[in-house]
Chains A and B, each alone.
Chain A
Amino acid sequence: MGSSKYDFDARSARAKSAGFNTKSANEIFTQNAKRRAHESMIPKGVKYREACDSESHPNSFPIILGLDVTGSMGHIPHELIKEDLPKLMSGIIEGGVPDATLLFIGIGDHECDNYPLQIGQFESGDQELDMWLTRSYIESGGGGNAGESYLLAWYFAAFHTKTDAFDKRNQKGILFTIGDEPCLTSLPAIAIREIMGSGEKSYTHKDLLNEAKKRYDVYHINVLHSNQAIEANIEWKNLLGENCIAIENHKEIPNVITKIICNKFKNINHISEQNLGDLNNIEML
């Protein structure tokens, strides 16, 4: 997956004809009426989602976007499809990351929701990205259990993704989760079995964060639109330090993401140039 290019004109034309700007969320996210996740996004039995290099994207750069699809955050996917996704892609591409490949993950609550984890595919093309995003089921669940299953995104990234970036270039991808609640602190084996179809070990959120960090730089964008979100920020800061980005206005999400990706990419290139520079200084005997 991920060999198509992002075509802004085609995207704009399709958005118009599909009515992304005018239609309601339930009209765009057609799984909502069916009250179930799309078959292709159910993670049960999925071994890997792969981000591979291709002719059009020789240096694929994997980015995972874990979107909270519970009650108070379910509007974010709608904003993304309305206008933010092309904004985000143009920011990334123009910011010097031409081969970004994006994986959408829908996150709910494994203690309460029927579909706590939905998984798209790594994609770079406008059409494919729109497809996976609009296929997501905005379950609007969650529950009064002081958290959502952001740790499921970490679990999936750590154990069920394969990226050429890491395997060929030893380059970490970037994983974002976006939400307004604390992270649930444990993922029991029973939940993993229900969601993935197999699994024999329980994990704490810290275990999974460490696993995900082996191949991704992990960020959380905490949208501070409620007192609970403000309180949650303390725990998020403890977990992620600087990689917890608190924002007051959700409109900032595409800018924040673009900035992090482009900075990270520049740094990676910068460092490798530097390394090369150092090597060049070594006098060959």
Chain B
Amino acid sequence: MKKAQIVIGLGFGDEGKGITTDYLASQKKEAIVIRFSGGQQAAHTVMIENKKHIHSSFCSGALRGLPSYISEFCTFYPIYMLNEKEELEKLNGNTKMFIHPLAKVTTPFDIYYNRKNKKNIEDGTCGKGIGTTMKRNESPFKLFATDLIGPKSMLIEKLKSISNYYGLDNSEEIKEELEFFLYAIEKLEWNIKDYTFLLNYNHLIFEGSQGILLDMDHGIFPNVTYSNTTSKNAITICNLLKIKDIEIFYVTRIYSTRHGNGWMSNETNLTLKNNQEETCIYNDFQKGLRIGNLDYELLNYALIIDGAYNLYSKKNLVVTCLDQLDIPFDSKKIKINFDSIIGSYSPYSKDFKILL
């Protein structure tokens, strides 16, 4: 029987979805990893022995040798994809990438407009064009994965109308980026496959992006992401494929994190150790990583929200970064019954331990 495992962040992102996906991937070598929300803004870190890779367009199973699949709910940017493919090749990762025909393509115009727009910066953008791509796809100026394998002249016409949509017709500033964008499209191999392709696999690992508290429906507007970060989309795909055996892995760090603007509870200075491998570092758009004590009330809140999207799933909790803080995890404060609680004690998924 086919089985699906879904990895979901319980907070504002940066919980440890990458390491958790790697943990699951290490147990099932014949699986495929599927992205079902967000896009190229992901920064999911996986470390295996002396190899380290931050997965962005590719799924956090690539380093472990698993193929990647981008669903219709995601965006991707061919330039980042090409760059990451080259990095992964150096590490002998699996660079096989399959994409749903309706996955949304980010263009240089989306990124340029995203970065230029002050309002977006205030909302907490990471400057990689996800929100602009999603919003543009609500307008008549859409661009899908299938458009990359259609006639090139048609793609050019579509790109022209997108540049006009942003008022960037004669912009010299992005000419170079546009040329590289077209080069990346030529250079990459496009395996455009609808969901029936996934039936070739008996084990599906769904890798979430960001966290439930950034969900476009559940976060606090406008500091939200333009995506459903709950298990909603993954469950939709499972239903289409008639997969009944579903297990969810909810991930939180032992402390709270938030990158970018917006409300967070319990924000404070914590003394962390063993955090030299922190991926979430300063960037110009979101500034530094904000941290605080774990808010159990918010954890329970996020769990109730997600529970509404997956009625019959088995549930597990993963608490990462337990080695970074002296305060222990208090499982009594969690009001949901879990099939297991798993803890991580280093940047390596081999150091996961069953706690309960």
Binding site for B on A (CB under 8 A): 111-114, 143, 186-191, 193, 200-202
Contact = CB atoms under 8 A, between A and B. Distances in A.
B139 A189 contact: yes
Nearest to A116: B119
Given A111-B118, A202-B169, A190 B139 contact: yes
Given A190-B113, A190-B136, A200-B139, A114 B119 contact: yes
A189 B119 contact: no
B118 A202 contact: no
B168 interface: yes
B139 A112 contact: no
Interface in B111-137: 113, 116-119, 132, 135-136
Nearest to B139: A193
Contact of A186 (B119, B132, B135, B167): B167
B151 interface: no
B165 interface: yes
A260 B135 CA distance: 43
B120 to A, nearest CB: 11
A202 B164 contact: yes
Nearest to A114: B119
B117 A187 contact: no
B201 interface: no
Interface of B: 113, 116-119, 132, 135-136, 139-141, 164-169
Contacts of B139: 189-190, 193, 200
Nearest to B171: A186
A202 B119 contact: no
A111 B116 CA distance: 8
Nearest to A203: B167
B119 A112 contact: yes
B157 to A, nearest CB: 15
A169 to B, nearest CB: 36
Contacts of A190: 113, 132, 135-136, 139, 165-167
16 contacts: A111-B116, A111-B117, A111-B118, A112-B119, A114-B119, A143-B118, A187-B167, A188-B166, A189-B164, A189-B166, A190-B136, A191-B167, A200-B165, A202-B164, A202-B166, A202-B167
Nearest to B121: A112
Contacts of B169: 202
Nearest to A194: B135
Contact of B165 (A111, A112, A143, A202): A202
Nearest to B113: A190
Contact of A112 (B113, B118, B141, B164): B118
Given A111-B116, A111-B118, A200-B140, 4 more contacts: A190-B135, A190-B167, A191-B167, A202-B169
Contacts of B136: 190
A90 to B, nearest CB: 41
A186 B166 CA distance: 9
A105 B118 CA distance: 23
